[in-house]
A and B are shown apart, each in its own frame.
Chain A
Amino acid sequence: MSNTVTRIRIAGVVIAAAASTAGLAACSSPAPSSGSAAAAPAAACEPAKGNVTLQYWNTVPGMDQVVALWNQKNPNIQVEMKNISTDQYGTIGNALKAGKAPELAQVGYDQLPSLRTQDAFVDASACADAVAAKSKFVPWTWSQSSFGDTGVFAFPQDTGPMALFVRSDIFKKHNLEIPKTWDEYAADAQKLHDADPNLSITFFDPNNAEFFNGLLWQNNAKMYGYSGDKWHVTVESDQSKQVAEYWQKLIDAKLVRTDLAHGSTPMYAAYQKNQIASYVGAAWGYSMFRDNLPDQSGKWSIVPMPTWGSSAASGDWGGSTVAFMKGNTHLYESVKFNSWLNTDPEALALENKLGGLYPAATAGLELPALSEGVPYYGNEKIFDVFAESSKNIDTSFAWGPTQKTVNLALQDALAKAAAGDGKLADALSAAQASALKSMQDLAIPAVAGN
């Protein structure tokens, strides 16, 4: 009996001790460690005395060859890279939690704010080269990776300006015009389906929030803002509802398929079997069709994405930055490598060729490789279309600090709607609720509405 009592007492003491240390930790931790808000001291950008080895994590195919080129040219600053494409943000998040983040890591624009709220980055603005790099990038990419402020947390790498990929042979066969507006696109969808019930104009993957967000972005649906010490969540807005209702109509009329996951083998099989006549995609998608459907060479064409009104507007789907991660003690060298990686013509050309990256650097848009015709697309100058699209992207669009959770909630609700259980517009309210709840969970002050 007494034995049990002692045990309970010990347990009590342990719990109390644990609780009090937690309390202590809570009191002490916020003050010093947070380097993210304030600029790093100038000393942080001193070059290292000896040779330096940087860790760089990314998900880009062929990046090992780009890094090898750098290593060959820069014996003093060696870069070791690791491909983390199987679970990019899981790997980064765990490394941060363990205090073992690499010097540099690839982070998508949409995940920057969420990692920033986890204090994942260091400010490289102590390095003059880092601040000066601003002029080298497409403005909205710089604004997103610097959070619209003077800090430098990441360099933009690539973007995903959207466009419409068209099977011109199928359109020609059915005497269809290339659609310029979403209304025309819906009309074409109807005509194609009437002509051949096995043929759809495209597919809507309900499990792909990034794609849907790109569509929202095109329609100036601003989902997050920050003012008055609070995040303002407007995921559910008139602009976003317009997009949801448009696709809902296409789904209800069975004019678009909802059974194909983006990038999956069944998706390619459907394209292979000529069941789908177009693809609403981003710049990086150009290599997908080239590499996966080689025998459709010459049948594809890339045109601007349909618009809501008469004025040109485009969205962005995907694209990444290379971020300076917490614990980076070699900022000088990291800035050097990061600028080379994302602004050097040789590096950019290689990344475009191997990884399908569409550069975020303005110099990249003038690369010889990007002004030439692409054989797969009937020697069309497809990058001119993406360059034009890039200019028409709403530069004030901002992502939320819990984007991953919101994306998952959006996907779950979109999938329900696609299966006939609810409407796509309901998915927006689900995402709105999830945004508020997830921010509350992480103690980020947020309110609904502007």
Chain B
Amino acid sequence: MTDTATRATRVVATPGGRSRHNGGGPRAGTIAAFLIPFFLPFVLFYLVPIAYAIWQSFLVVRRTGGQYGTSYTTFGGFEQYVQVFQNTEFWNSIGRIGLFGIVQVPVMLFIALIIALLLDTPLLKLKAFFRIAAFMPYAVPGVIAAIMWSFLYSPQLSPLVDLLKAIGLQPDFLGPGAVLWSAANVSTWLWTGYNMLIMFSALQAIPQELYEAAKLDGASNWAIAWRIKVPIIAPSIILTTVFSIIGTLQLYAEPAVLRQISSNISSTFTPNMLAYAVASGNNYQQAAAISVVIAVITFVLSFGFMRLTSKRAGL
């Protein structure tokens, strides 16, 4: 079965590869004309800031005497990094989003997968409508979504809270124990549709003959979904997981907005918020070091996950 699945992916993959044929000599001018619009912004707005951040992270502030003195920066080696590793707030924030990610990412991707599979069944009517409906939250900017949800969480303003109170519950969405999951809920609401669409596109690419063959063999819709569709779109699921791991480590907007109405989100709630707080305290060099460490952790986790799963899945 897995064999079929793998082969099917390969079949799907080929048409994309074929268009590479470009004839013989490369026309440097043409290639440059096509590449420069990409590479120039890539270098300016991606590589240069990264290099600048790395450079900043190796500097330390020194000062000439006096009450206010004059500060200057000088090379400090790994001094800023030592501080990052000694910073308990940093590790707390990493632990917090680790917990967030372990729960939120599987829940979100599972829901996305279910919706994608439902949209892919021939049984469902009004497909276009449901597809748009599921994708719609992604069109809402993250900050706006967080503001909207913060209204739904606020005991003062929320019809949701009133409703739950009417049936005898005492929800405290912004309490110390719940606020992390309230933020997770906003992320899930925002990103499920996006992940669903990636999985759904992969499902659309599966040739119908496979299903016909499976049906002839007596497979139920259930079996087709779990034994054929899910294994075939495994690369998409892995891709969305990697995106989600990266997204989790970059978490900022949702908790930062909820912080406006809940005192249970500290200024160091997520690593990105910590970096921002440090930068706003004029310690740009320390903030740069924190950012670099976050980037390295993100890189290690996402690529580590990709290598691990692709080996397992034999892709």
Contacts and interface: CB of A to CB of B under 8 A. Distances in A.
B261 A23 contact: no
B264 A419 contact: yes
A441 B76 CA distance: 12
Contacts of B154: 265-266, 269
Given A412-B267, A419-B263, A438 B157 contact: no
Interface string B176-209: 1000000000000000000000000000000000
Contacts of B75: 18-19, 22-23, 26
Nearest to A208: B263
Contacts of A25: 72-74
Give the interface centre of A30, A119, A147, A226 by most chain B CB atoms within 10 Å: A30
A443 B68 contact: no
B261 A411 contact: no
Interface range on chain B (Cβ under 8 Å from partner): 35 or more
Nearest to A441: B283
A405 B89 CA distance: 14
A186 interface: no
A133 interface: no
A408 B267 contact: yes
A266 B74 contact: no
B286 A441 contact: yes
Interface in A1-52: 18-19, 22-23, 25-26, 29-30, 33-34, 36-37
Nearest to A411: B267
B135 interface: no
Contacts, number: 134
Interface string B262-304: 1110111000000001111111101000000000000000000
Contacts of B14: none
Contacts of B157: 265-266, 269
B47 to A, nearest CB: 15
A113 B68 contact: yes
A257 to B, nearest CB: 10
A303 interface: no
A170 interface: no
A226 B67 CA distance: 7
A116 interface: yes
Contacts of B66: 37
Contacts of A147: 67-68
B174 A259 contact: yes
Contact of A93 (B68, B70, B74, B282): B282
Given A26-B75, A118-B282, A34 B266 contact: no
Interface in A234-265: 258-261, 264-265
A89 B284 CA distance: 13
Interface string A386-421: 000000000000000110110010011011101111
Given A26-B73, A89-B280, A444 B155 contact: no
B220 interface: no
Interface string A216-227: 000000000010
A222 to B, nearest CB: 16
Contacts of A113: 68
A330 B260 CA distance: 39
A404 B279 CA distance: 10
Contacts of A30: 64, 70, 72
Nearest to A412: B266
A34 B64 contact: yes
21 contacts: A23-B74, A25-B72, A30-B72, A36-B70, A37-B69, A97-B284, A117-B63, A118-B71, A119-B70, A119-B71, A207-B259, A259-B263, A266-B154, A266-B155, A269-B157, A405-B281, A405-B283, A414-B263, A416-B266, A419-B175, A438-B281
Given A30-B64, A259-B174, A266-B155, 4 more contacts: A147-B68, A207-B259, A265-B261, A419-B263
3 nearest A-B residue pairs (beta carbon): A26-B74, A405-B281, A34-B70
